[in-house]
A and B are shown apart, each in its own frame.
Chain A
Amino acid sequence: MPGNFDVQYVARLARIALTPAEEEKFGAQLSQVLGYIEKLNQLDVSGIEPTAHAVPMVNVVRLDEVRASLTNQEALRNAPAKANGLFLVPKIVE
């Protein structure tokens, strides 16, 4: 599988612009890491349940009630672009 690793395609999926030099370097480095990861294929995992996380707690819920949270001003405090109490984003619909 490492042979098929298309760094340009996956970087696009991850929404990261890479320079041609980065593509070449990361492609080689990640192929090496993926080659190492192939190690896991040596193990028989049939019948083994996956572990998503180590503490046996599921569906931790709270009452669906309104609680204090950040004010509009605080939520926008670190926004790179804002106006009228809203985040500004590039035009999405034509």
Chain B
Amino acid sequence: MLNQQTISQLAARLGRREVSAREILADCLKQIERVDGRLHAFLSYDAADALAQAEAADKALAAGTTHRQKPLLGIPVGLKDVIAVRDQPLNCGSKILGSFVSPYSATVVEKLKEAGAVVFGRLNMDEFAMGSSTENSAFGVTRNPWDATRIAGGSSGGSAAAVAAAECIASLGSDTGGSIRQPAALCGCVGFKPTYGRISRYGLVAFASSLDQIGPLAREVRDAATMLGVTSGHDPRDSTSVPAPVPDYGAALEAPIKGLRLGLPKEYMIGGLDAEVNGAVQTAVKQFEKLGAEIVEVSLPHTEYAVATYYIVATAEASANLARFDGIRYGARVDGADPTDLYCKTRGAGFGAEVKRRIILGAYVLSSGYHDAYYLRAQKVRTLIRRDFLDAFEKVDAIVTPTSPTAAFKIGEKADDPLQMYLSDIFTISCNLAGICGLSLPCGFTAHPKLPIGLQILGQPFGEETILRLAHAYEQSTGWHKEKPPEQS
């Protein structure tokens, strides 16, 4: 079945004209019909629009266009419901946007289409990307393809589950504190959070503007590198995108990893780290040694303050960003006696519990009398966290950690305990606070039930090539990424 293959496999077969873009799309749509009633990775998809794009790809292939020119020609790519596509719905997993239809496309969507991708589908997510389980979607939870009683992770749970269950070939998510890497780990795929500023966020609905980054989810490291190359680059429409050249990420995979120094942070051996997860990560570290990497213990002394820092910075920014959802210019409205009454009622009815909690927390830490004690202090601790990483990168080329302290937990297990849910992000959030890059890739499975375990590799700012190279060498020497969930068979 074509939907189970990778971008590189499909590109080769499309190039030889053995298969058509229409056949690949048809297999993806068939798989969605077969499994998505149960998994609920997709909120919606426009099959007619996808078919038109696939037909255009087939025409381009017939006219001699190659994958060297258009690396994603004919490849179906899904999008998290937080990225705008002109004339398609955009809900951010929330009721408050009502029947919103995007008046323009995000830069990443334009870039995917320029590269020939068949861009389709709205993938489920925690409302406004706030959550670690996709249980906060207003449209129902996404289930894990390895065990449907468990979460797919979050907030990009739909993007991870759809790739793992072979409903699309690759997808885009967004990562504010681990929202690409954690669901990728729990669903057994590759998830990449690029350096802040690497990919334009024009057309990405903002959650926490100093932390948000768009990134790819894919079935193997090479595919993630292809997606990263296509979507990266400076964009005058996003003033936080960095005018740095985009390297050939595919070529970066081929360099040997012998002699690279890999840091193991001693602070990451915490209580609450599952024994099987720890075992898989330790085995992965030994594998890196076999491949010629040098393992060095490093210290990130402010690790234990990262979760507290994050939940001040991210909620403060969210409270400002989400002020735009006021029932005036777009989305749902609940009428009121005066404008303030309208705002309060619209936002009270339109936002779900977690979004309300975070906006309220953010408003509190920014409010008069508390700003310095909370927000300013958190920004200073953020400086210390960033310094920890920059100091460590003086000694090592990359840092290896677990992605998540446990494999996928049961649906409902942490739904009513926000603090426990926040603490499950411990390994991923520092990366966003420090503005560095990171990825997650499969490094094993728990025994009973069989659930994927993710390995996180963190790299220096704009050090994408190094962590891709490490991940690719590890992946090719172990083959964990070839294991398929029951939903794919």
Q: A-side interface residues toward B, CB under 8 Å?
A: 1, 5, 7, 10-19, 22, 25-26, 29-30, 32-34, 36-37, 39-41, 43, 45, 48-55, 57, 60, 62, 70, 74-75, 77-81, 87, 89-92
Contacts and interface: CB of A to CB of B under 8 A. Distances in A.
Interface residues of B, number: 78
- SS class, residues of chain A in contact with chain B: loop
A63 B359 CA distance: 35
A10 B367 CA distance: 9
Contacts of B356: 11, 16, 18, 22, 26
B329 A55 contact: no
Contacts of B379: 50-52
Contact of A10 (B197, B364, B433): B364
B339 A33 contact: no
B319 A54 contact: no
Interface string B428-439: 000001111000
Contacts of B103: 70, 74-75, 77-78
28 contacts: A5-B364, A10-B367, A15-B343, A16-B360, A26-B357, A30-B361, A32-B418, A33-B361, A37-B312, A37-B374, A40-B378, A40-B381, A45-B380, A48-B381, A50-B383, A53-B210, A54-B196, A54-B386, A55-B197, A55-B242, A55-B461, A60-B240, A77-B103, A80-B328, A80-B332, A89-B339, A90-B339, A92-B339
Contacts of B436: 54
Contact of B347 (A5, A17, A36, A77): A17
Interface in B366-408: 367, 370, 373-374, 376-384, 386
Contacts, number: 175
Contact of A13 (B101, B336, B363, B422): B363
Given A10-B364, A15-B340, A55-B240, A80 B330 contact: yes
B478 interface: no
Contacts of A40: 305, 308-309, 312, 374, 377-378, 381
Contacts of B377: 40-41, 45
Contact of A14 (B330, B331, B359, B373): B359
B98 interface: yes
Interface in B46-105: 98-101, 103-104
B447 interface: no
